[in-house]
Amino acid sequence: MKRAMIFCSVFGCGLTMGCTKSKPTAKDPDPVTVRIDDPSQSMEPTGTEEDKDLAPATDKQREQAQQTLQGILLAMHKFASEEKPASLPICFPGDSADKDGKALLSWRVHLLPFLELGELHKKFALDEPWDSKTNKPLIAKMPKLFAPVRVKAEEGHTFYRGFSGNGAFFQPGKNIDMKGIADGLSNTIGVIEAGEAVIWTKPGTDIPFDSKKELPALGKDIDGIFYAATLDGAVHRIQRDFNAETMKAAITTAGGEVISIDSLKPEKK
């Protein structure tokens, strides 16, 4: 199983680095570099709730949002190539649980060693819940990578989330084999800038998804655009007034729809 596991430890999946022609992966020639100057401290985001609809995002903010998502996906692929730690049982794809099935920590915590944040990861008690005496103080140590860059949020909160539900990549109680994603990695959304921030260490905080229901607000941004990363590691700018059915098709892993992610992008002016 060495270097042949899929996010499986944390994500309950089955991807190997060589089983798909995903791009970019950790071995691709031109990955986006994720800048982490001081991983132990949160970054003060620019903008406020009041001005989010007034001022457009700067090029630097847009670049950082893209770097964050690509960094998360690259970390997932790195995780996929590592041997599963015996200490990480599965609650549902993404989050860890104890022997009784009680959710403990978010998948974001388990990605830390693959984001060059191993020292922070060592401070967590992996067999305790996110709000235990040991783990709760670490909420305030959220890395810059997960911090909002375009609007403010409460301390220790992040907008970077996946979708969880029937047909989505994160499915409670089910393991997803990345090789079996019928719609293709490049057509399936993994992580996005969500419309609401959540505690970064808390499990069960991915966006509930039901193809028969309306999607929640997505993209807590300041210029009508939010970002989404497909499972191949590519990052896409998406207009807030996207076509709902196309978005749902991009969220599902095996819907069989023929779509173009490009159709969700803002029109060039």
More confident residue, 63 or 10: 63
Nearest to 170, CA basis, from 236, 92, 250, 76: 92
Measured CA to CA, the distance from residue 166 to residue 100 in angstroms comes to 23
- 89-130: pLDDT as tens digits: 444 457 888 888 888 999 999 999 999 999 999 999 999 999
Instruction: Map tokens 């903010």 to a residue.
Output: 61
pTM: 0.74
Beta carbons within 10 angstroms of residue 234's beta carbon: 18
Measured CA to CA, the distance from residue 54 to residue 257 in angstroms comes to 36
Average the pLDDT over 179-191 and give the result.
83
- 245-258: pLDDT as tens digits: 889 999 988 877 77
pLDDT value of position 97: 82
